[in-house]
């Protein structure tokens, strides 16, 4: 950590005043500027205190939990002591216990609620609707919402949309504090904004900055607001608030090479988020249009070569069979310049415009083909729901994991230098492996006392295991290694 230089208050005030007036610090005496003038310069800076007092009560902390199978020991006190021992010295839950010896009754497994993650959110109605990020609640068994007055509610997930990373929760309450929804179309670069959330689970933390850019193309279905407001893990789902106390965005992403804040953060425009939220509140899902094309950017060279006056539009590079695009007569090489009267300035505009079009409706397209403008009509189809994609994702994941519930990969170059004997890193842990306490990022060194060299060998070793017997792995986590038994779960 770099050492911070501290300055006396009087010198700091003088420096602020001089910098504000002439742009540099002149070598003047500390008392060269009158106190009234210095005070004026300080009070000219933004004061967020009233804004925070007004909006803070409607910002909530969100914690999620997941229910997992946990083996129970014969002696409650002994089991509790062993759990505490493992937490303190190994940083992981106690592994599943082996079957009880003959003559002793094995207590059935029970579900245990374990912490999964924390995030932020904000109340948008007095009857308890809450907005947050979809990734904050993804995979959670239960979701809890805590207000600044320490009241905590178990929330119902009304719906979530991974494509825009927006989720709607509902808590049971009346006359709850709520935030005013602003207009993200009216924001300007350079405008002051604040973020309130729970970075690293520190409730109601306030950070401030300015809007750096209005529409960054970092998402498929919405342009994000870029700011320099400090946002860290746990801030996700919290509000981005303007100086009028209105929500203009939902803090969602950061640009980082370290995992922490590096001066660039992104927020979902509140206009887009509310459109998604309204659909989730109404039907529990989001309906989007599609036409069945794959598109590319129109570069200046391409525009010049096909006779376009400027680089604009979406270049059609592939048309899916049986889709509205094929039926409408679109061809590879066409450039879509307008859709339903809306200009397509760049290729990323088209998915957003089409996605916002009601499925089943007819739309007009302005297309550039072989040096001429063509007007075409197309009937918009409906995009597959997220749950369809989730099923495909789960199926693929299931195929990649073995019967222990493990998906592994080879060590990185840095890890290989640290562990020359080899090993594999866990990419995902489900089922029996998750119940045993294994986690993503753990390194498996041995399987049943046989050294593990790489992922290919580990996969081969697992394939030869008796699926009815407990396997024992030597696992390394944060420079600590321990043996963990994995008992396959009954199908």
Give the active site residues. Answer: 135, 165, 236
| CA–CA dist 382, 390 (Å, integer) | 17
Cross-strand bridge partners of residue 342: 339
Residue 53 near residue 195, CB atoms below 8 Å:
no
Tell me the three-class secondary structure of 433-486, residue by residue.
HHHCCCCCCCEEEEECCEECCCHHHHHHHHHCCCCCCCEEEEEEECCEEEEEEE
Residue 407 near residue 316, CB atoms below 8 Å:
no
Residue 290 near residue 269, CB atoms below 8 Å:
no
| CA–CA dist 40, 36 (Å, integer) | 6
Residue 451 near residue 422, CB atoms below 8 Å:
yes
Residue 126 near residue 175, CB atoms below 8 Å:
yes
Query: Can you say how many angstroms the Cα of residue 75 is from the centroid of all Cα atoms in its chain?
Result: 41
Residue 160 near residue 134, CB atoms below 8 Å:
yes
Tokens of 38: 């210095």
Q: Provide the phi-psi class of 427: left if phi over 0, else alpha when psi is between -120 and 50, else beta.
A: alpha
297-305 contact pairs (CB < 8 A, 24+): 297/346, 297/347, 298/335, 298/347
């Amino acid at each position: 950590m770099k050492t911070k230089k501290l300055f006396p208050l009087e010198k700091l005030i003088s420096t602020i005043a001089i910098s504000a007036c002439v742009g540099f610090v002149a070598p003047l005496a500390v008392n060269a500027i009158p106190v009234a003038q210095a005070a004026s310069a300080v009070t000219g800076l933004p004061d967020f205190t009233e804004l925070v007092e007004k909006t803070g009560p409607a910002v909530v902390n969100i914690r999620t939990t997941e229910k997992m199978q946990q083996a129970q020991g014969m002696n409650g006190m002994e089991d509790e002591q062993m759990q505490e021992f493992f937490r303190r010295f190994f940083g992981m839950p106690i592994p599943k216990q082996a079957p009880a010896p003959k003559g002793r009754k094995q207590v059935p497994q029970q579900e245990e609620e374990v912490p999964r993650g924390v995030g932020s959110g904000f109340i948008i109605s007095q009857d308890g609707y809450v907005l947050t990020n979809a990734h904050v609640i993804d995979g959670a068994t239960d979701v809890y919402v805590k207000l600044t007055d320490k009241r905590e509610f178990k929330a119902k997930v009304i719906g979530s949309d991974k494509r825009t990373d927006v989720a709607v929760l509902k808590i049971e309450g009346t006359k709850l504090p709520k935030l005013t929804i602003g207009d993200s179309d009216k924001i300007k670069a350079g405008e002051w904004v604040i973020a309130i959330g729970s970075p690293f689970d520190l409730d109601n933390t306030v950070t401030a900055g300015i809007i750096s850019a209005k529409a960054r193309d970092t998402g498929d279905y919405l342009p994000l607001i870029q700011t320099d407001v400090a946002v860290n893990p746990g801030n996700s789902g919290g509000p981005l608030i303007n100086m009028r106390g209105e929500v203009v965005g939902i803090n969602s992403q950061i640009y980082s090479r370290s995992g922490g804040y590096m001066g660039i953060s992104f927020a979902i425009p509140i206009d887009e988020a509310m459109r998604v939220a309204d659909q989730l509140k109404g039907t529990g899902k989001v309906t989007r249009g599609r036409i069945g094309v794959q598109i590319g950017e129109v570069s200046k060279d391409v525009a010049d070569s096909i006779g376009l006056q400027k680089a604009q539009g979406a270049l059609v590079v592939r048309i899916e069979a049986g889709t509205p695009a094929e039926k409408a007569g679109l061809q590879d090489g066409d450039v879509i310049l307008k859709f339903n009267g809306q200009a397509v300035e760049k290729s990323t505009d088209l998915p957003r415009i089409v996605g916002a079009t009601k499925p089943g409706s007819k739309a007009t397209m302005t297309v550039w083909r072989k040096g001429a403008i063509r007007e075409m009509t197309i009937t918009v189809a409906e995009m597959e729901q997220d749950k369809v994609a989730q099923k495909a994702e789960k199926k693929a994941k299931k195929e990649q994991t073995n019967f222990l519930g493990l998906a592994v990969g080879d060590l990185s170059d840095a890890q290989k230098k640290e562990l020359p004997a080899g090993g594999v890193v866990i990419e995902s842990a489900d089922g029996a492996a998750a119940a045993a306490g294994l986690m993503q990022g753990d390194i498996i060194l041995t399987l049943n006392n046989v050294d593990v060299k790489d992922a290919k060998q580990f996969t081969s070793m697992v394939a030869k295991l008796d699926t009815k017997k407990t396997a024992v792995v030597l696992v390394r986590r944060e420079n600590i290694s321990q043996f963990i038994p994995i008992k396959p779960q009954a199908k």
